[in-house]
């Protein structure tokens, strides 16, 4: 302690100490290494053992990855090329299968001359999600968010432009129904009208209206059948739709489960418990085989749509339970304060309860989403050609019979990229929403 | 308790009725928590409610803004009777402010947003005006500089003053306080009580559940003592503290003032 005068109890500092850099040991790369990897003998030993393991793993895998063939046209040709290039004892990856089949792994049997459509659809979907996911995006992009649910399916499946217009019109009708009925029949009947009118429209009239308009003014793009969908495009179509729809449905189910209205509560508990109690694969079989029996005859209910409904239902039930956990973690005082300020149920939920409950639930919700996205590979079992389904058919090809690691490695890598970005996003969101220390 | 000099002559009570409770009973399941409550409170009155733990003080004031539902009898607030009619309940709630023991600020919103939320969404006040009102009341409780912080970054006393400002932003006619200082460290109690005294001087109708007897002597015009869900005694503060008439009151007072 410089500057203290030891001989007297009274003290006045006569020289101020300027800022000095910290000692070398605690900063820079060396400081980091010391603190994180070699802080104690145990830590140092663990570091060395881990380095050795990682080294051994890389030594085993890297040569296989690098000593590869990109140009061959069959597995046997691959092997010959590798032996010729790296010696008779070497084995290497046959990435040629990816080069030859990557377009199918990504687009399935979608006609190659209109690959731009799924790409544009994917871009539209991301553009529509952006203003929801990131606060920095200009608010005008929300128009794209509103248009995306109609634009994306139209781009993917094609056909007349009047169909998405007719579907969108259903929402206008619902809104109109609410505005007409609510003032004289009350909010609940208004809400029922807002739900019933569009459903009737979609089921009975929307198709005819779209057909009629198409005859008057033919506008459309080449239709693509669901049979041609496949690869990652299929996984993303199913996964992204199920994920975006399951959040609002999950929220409603979680709220319904806490409702004081007995019927609402019983229905929500029933749906959640039933769906959670049944394997997804069973639901997919139901979608594949049974759902058509419940539909009016001659309606050809698209298989991908059926699968999306089931996967969405499945995801919603899990999301609902995760959110229920978040709701339970919220102190009762928050509800009381909202009530005491005169906020009604929906405003309190929207402004006070959900922002906090969802924030608590982010890790769980994102885990559910990641799980759902990976579970889309199960559709291969009911004959849809998602990447896993496709890899089976590639392996059945005479040229590629016996290839395993390269295909699954590629698929795993693609899934990892998607899931890892979701996980990073959730961490970003948690950091952004952190307020104070409570 | 508080050394702020207060001029009792400024504390006027009108003869208009603010709250009327007639033959009110409430049960939690089979437990009869409030029994035959009769209470009339005029505009501008400052009522302090005290009594042992579990005597039903919180339940009583929570019935006034319908955080709890009563099963029999009548509660009329500002001329509006509390029934199952949601419209009436919302109306009463926007007239009656409430301050809780644990502040119950919204942790995901800034101080300013806490104060503007209800005016904007319930009263439909334009945002700019709501912000002005909020800043006015934050200034009044002496923490305008914290407006953009989050509740978690404030001390307990500051949070409670924000909670008071948040209620005031709805421009209530009546304020309910449920032990507003009992979660606070001693040095913060004064800043909250001073804020409440200031409110009283401005003629706010106040009902406070509190054990701050200094505050009761200084500010209240009536002290109500509750035990076992009943109003056991009520009187002006001087008489209440110097000449308690019931044995229960004497016992209670000797316990909290005694040591
Ligand atoms: N939600 C509830 N369900 C059942 N019993 C309750 C409930 N809330 C309170 N009680 C009971 O009702 C009685 C009165 O509670 P209240 O909270 O009104 O007491 P209080 O006078 O405010 O006590 P304190 O000074 O401890 O806050 C207590 O016996 C309590 O256990
Ligand atoms: Mg209490």
> What mean pLDDT is predicted for residues A91-113?
89
pLDDT value at position B1? 45
pLDDT value at position A93? 87
pLDDT value at position A438? 46
A122 and A266 part of one domain:
no
A260 shares contact with chain B (CB less than 8 Å): no
A346 and A232 part of one domain:
yes
Domain-ending residue, one of A192, A221, A250: A221
A302 and A420 part of one domain:
yes
In a domain, A35, yes or no: no
* Residues of chain A with C-beta less than 8 angstroms from the C-beta of B98: 337, 340
A352 and A425 part of one domain:
yes
Q: Kindly tell me if the per-residue pLDDT of A399 is higher than 70.
A: yes
pLDDT value at position A254? 95
State how far the Cα of A131 lies from the Cα of A135, in Å rounded to an integer.
6
pLDDT value at position A195? 86
pLDDT value at position A214? 84
Are the Cβ atoms of A336 and B106 closer than 8 angstroms? no
pLDDT value at position B2? 45
A66 and A205 part of one domain:
no
Give the percent of chain A with pLDDT over 90.
46
Quote the minimal CA–CA distance from B176 to chain A in Å. 10
State how far the Cα of B59 lies from the Cα of B54, in Å rounded to an integer.
9
Interface of B with A (CB under 8 A): 65, 67, 86, 90, 93-94, 96-98, 100, 102, 104-108, 117-118, 121-122, 149-153, 166-167, 170
Are the Cβ atoms of B90 and A342 closer than 8 angstroms? yes
Confidence of residue A39 (pLDDT cuts 50, 70, 90): confident
Are the Cβ atoms of B108 and A340 closer than 8 angstroms? no
* Residues of chain A with C-beta less than 8 angstroms from the C-beta of B105: 337
Quote the minimal CA–CA distance from B236 to chain A in Å. 29
What residue's CA is closest to ligand 1, atom 14?
B56
Q: Kindly tell me if the per-residue pLDDT of A181 is higher than 50.
A: yes
Angle, alpha carbons A202-A204-A208 (nearest 5°): 90
A279 and A402 part of one domain:
yes
Q: Which of B33, B179, B256 to mutate to test the pocket of ligand 1 (most atoms within 8 A of CB)?
A: B33
pLDDT value at position B72? 93
Q: Kindly tell me if the per-residue pLDDT of A76 is higher than 70.
A: yes
Domain-ending residue, one of A173, A189, A221: A221
> What mean pLDDT is predicted for residues A213-234?
88
Q: What tens digit of pLDDT does each residue of A252-284 get?
A: 999 999 988 899 999 999 999 999 999 999 999
* CB distance A437 to B155 below 8 Å: no
* CB distance B230 to B247 below 8 Å: no
Confidence of residue A14 (pLDDT cuts 50, 70, 90): confident
State how far the Cα of B167 lies from the Cα of B204, in Å rounded to an integer.
12
Of A31-35, A54-58, A222-226, minimum mean pLDDT range: A31-35
A246 and A216 part of one domain:
no
* Residues of chain B with C-beta less than 8 angstroms from the C-beta of A433: 108
In a domain, A41, yes or no: no
pLDDT value at position A1? 45
pLDDT value at position A36? 84
What is residue B122's three-state secondary structure?
Answer: coil
What residue's CA is closest to ligand 1, atom 5?
B28
**Domain span at A128:** 111-147
Confidence of residue A210 (pLDDT cuts 50, 70, 90): confident
pLDDT value at position A424? 94
What is residue B5's three-state secondary structure?
Answer: coil
Are the Cβ atoms of A359 and B108 closer than 8 angstroms? yes
pLDDT by position in tens, chain B (length 259): 445 556 666 677 788 899 999 999 999 999 999 999 999 999 999 999 999 999 999 999 999 999 999 999 999 999 999 988 888 898 899 899 999 999 999 999 999 999 999 999 999 999 999 999 999 999 999 999 999 999 999 999 999 999 999 999 999 999 999 999 998 988 889 999 999 999 999 889 999 999 989 999 999 999 999 999 999 999 999 999 999 999 999 999 988 876 5
**Hey, what are A158's tokens?**
């094609």
In a domain, A21, yes or no: no
B257: how many CB neighbours lie within 10 A of its CB? Answer: 9
Q: What tens digit of pLDDT does each residue of A341-393 get?
A: 999 889 999 999 999 999 999 999 999 999 999 999 999 988 888 898 888 88
A438 shares contact with chain B (CB less than 8 Å): yes
A77 and A184 part of one domain:
no
A187 and A325 part of one domain:
no
Q: What is the mean pLDDT of chain A?
A: 88
State how far the Cα of A332 lies from the Cα of B115, in Å rounded to an integer.
20
> What mean pLDDT is predicted for residues A113-130?
93
State how far the Cα of A193 lies from the Cα of A175, in Å rounded to an integer.
9
Q: What tens digit of pLDDT does each residue of A238-249 get?
A: 999 999 999 999
The number of domains in chain A is 4
Burial B18-55 (b: 16+ CB within 10 A, else e): bbbbeebebeeeeebbbeebebebbbbbbbbbbbeeeb
Q: Kindly tell me if the per-residue pLDDT of A328 is higher than 90.
A: yes
pLDDT value at position A26? 66
Are the Cβ atoms of B93 and A359 closer than 8 angstroms? no
State how far the Cα of A373 lies from the Cα of A376, in Å rounded to an integer.
5
In a domain, A135, yes or no: yes
pLDDT value at position B10? 65
Say if residue B252 is exposed, middle or buried (CB neighbours under 10 Å; 0-12, 13-18, 19+).
buried
State how far the Cα of A306 lies from the Cα of B31, in Å rounded to an integer.
53
CATH of the domain at A321: 1.10.3720.10
In a domain, A36, yes or no: no
Are the Cβ atoms of B121 and A351 closer than 8 angstroms? yes
pLDDT value at position A319? 96
Which tops the pLDDT comparison, A38 or A412? A412
Q: Kindly tell me if the per-residue pLDDT of A437 is higher than 60.
A: no
A232 and A217 part of one domain:
no
Sheet with strand B222-227: strands edge to edge: B96-99, B174-178, B205-209, B46-50, B222-227, B230-235
Confidence of residue A18 (pLDDT cuts 50, 70, 90): confident
* Residues of chain B with C-beta less than 8 angstroms from the C-beta of A339: 65, 67, 93
Quote the minimal CA–CA distance from B209 to chain A in Å. 16
In a domain, A99, yes or no: no
Domain-ending residue, one of A187, A204, A221: A221
Rounded to the nearest 5°, which phi and psi values hold at B231? -80, 115
A261 and A406 part of one domain:
yes
Quote the minimal CA–CA distance from B64 to chain A in Å. 10
State how far the Cα of A33 lies from the Cα of A39, in Å rounded to an integer.
8
A270 and A125 part of one domain:
no
* CB distance B76 to B19 below 8 Å: yes
Q: Kindly tell me if the per-residue pLDDT of A35 is higher than 90.
A: no
In a domain, A115, yes or no: yes
In a domain, A28, yes or no: no
Q: Which residues contact A278 (CB under 8 A, 6 or more apart)?
A: none
């Amino acid at each position: 302690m410089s500057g203290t005068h030891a001989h007297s109890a009274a003290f006045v500092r006569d020289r101020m100490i300027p800022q000095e850099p910290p000692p070398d040991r605690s900063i820079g790369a060396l400081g980091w290494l010391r603190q994180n990897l070699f802080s104690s003998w145990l830590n140092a030993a663990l570091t060395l053992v881990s380095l050795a393991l990682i080294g051994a793993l890389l030594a085993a895998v890297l040569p296989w990855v690098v000593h590869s063939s990109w140009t061959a046209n069959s597995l046997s040709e691959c092997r010959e090329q590798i032996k010729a290039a790296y010696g008779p004892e070497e084995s290497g990856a046959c990435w040629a299968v990816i080069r030859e089949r990557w377009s199918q792994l990504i687009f399935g049997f979608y006609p190659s001359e209109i690959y731009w459509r799924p790409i544009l659809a994917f871009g539209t979907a991301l553009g529509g999600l952006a203003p929801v996911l990131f606060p920095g995006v200009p608010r005008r992009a929300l128009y794209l968010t509103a248009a995306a649910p109609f634009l994306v399916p139209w781009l993917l499946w094609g056909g007349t432009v009047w169909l998405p217009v007719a579907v969108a019109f259903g929402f206008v009708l619902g809104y109109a129904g609410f505005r007409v009925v609510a003032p004289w029949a009350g909010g609940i009947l208004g809400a029922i009208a807002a739900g019933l009118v569009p459903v009737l429209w979609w089921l009975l009239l929307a198709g005819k209206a779209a057909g009629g308009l198409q005859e008057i003014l033919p506008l459309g793009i080449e239709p693509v059948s669901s049979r041609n969908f496949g690869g990652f495009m299929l996984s993303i179509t199913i996964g992204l739709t199920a994920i975006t729809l399951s959040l609002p449905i999950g929220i409603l189910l979680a709220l319904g489960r806490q409702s004081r209205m007995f019927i609402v509560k019983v229905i929500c508990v029933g749906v959640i418990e039933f769906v959670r109690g049944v394997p997804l694969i069973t639901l997919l079989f139901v979608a594949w085989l049974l759902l058509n029996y419940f539909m009016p005859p001659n309606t050809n209910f698209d298989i991908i749509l059926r699968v999306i409904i089931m996967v969405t239902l499945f995801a919603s039930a899990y999301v609902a339970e995760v959110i229920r956990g978040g709701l339970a973690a919220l102190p009762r005082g928050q509800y009381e304060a909202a009530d005491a300020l005169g906020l009604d149920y929906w405003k309190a939920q929207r402004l006070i309860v959900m922002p906090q409950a969802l924030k608590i639930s982010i890790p769980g919700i994102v885990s559910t989403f990641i799980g759902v996205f990976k579970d889309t590979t199960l559709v291969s079992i009911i004959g849809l050609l998602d990447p896993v389904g496709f890899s089976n058919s590639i392996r059945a090809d005479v040229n590629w019979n016996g290839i395993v690691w390269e295909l699954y490695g590629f698929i795993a890598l693609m899934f990892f990229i998607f899931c890892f970005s979701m996980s990073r996003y959730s961490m970003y969101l948690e950091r952004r929403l952190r307020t104070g220390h409570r | 308790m508080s050394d702020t000099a207060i001029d009792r002559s400024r504390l006027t009570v009108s003869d208009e009725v603010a709250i009327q409770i007639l033959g009110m009973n409430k049960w939690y399941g089979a437990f009869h928590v409030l029994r035959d409550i009769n209470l009339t409170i005029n505009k501008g009155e400052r009522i302090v409610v005290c009594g042992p733990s579990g005597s039903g003080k919180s339940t009583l004031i929570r019935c006034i803004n319908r955080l709890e539902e009563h099963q029999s009898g009548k509660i009329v607030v500002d001329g509006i009777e509390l029934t199952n009619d949601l419209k009436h309940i919302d109306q009463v709630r926007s007239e009656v402010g409430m301050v809780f023991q644990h502040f119950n600020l919204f942790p995901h919103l800034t101080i300013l947003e806490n104060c503007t939320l209800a005016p904007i969404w319930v009263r439909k006040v334009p945002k700019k005006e709501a912000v002005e009102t909020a800043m006015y009341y934050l200034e009044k409780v002496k923490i305008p500089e914290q407006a953009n912080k989050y509740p978690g970054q404030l001390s307990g006393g500051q949070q409670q003053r924000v909670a008071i400002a948040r209620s005031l932003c709805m421009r209530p006619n009546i304020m309910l306080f449920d032990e507003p200082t009992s979660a606070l460290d001693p040095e913060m109690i004064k800043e909250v009580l001073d804020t409440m005294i200031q409110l009283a001087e401005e003629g706010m109708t106040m009902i406070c559940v509190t054990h701050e007897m200094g505050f009761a002597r200084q500010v209240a015009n009536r002290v109500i003592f509750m035990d076992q869900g009943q109003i056991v005694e009520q009187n002006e503060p001087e008489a209440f503290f110097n000449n308690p008439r019931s044995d229960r009151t004497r016992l209670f007072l000797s316990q909290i003032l005694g040591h």
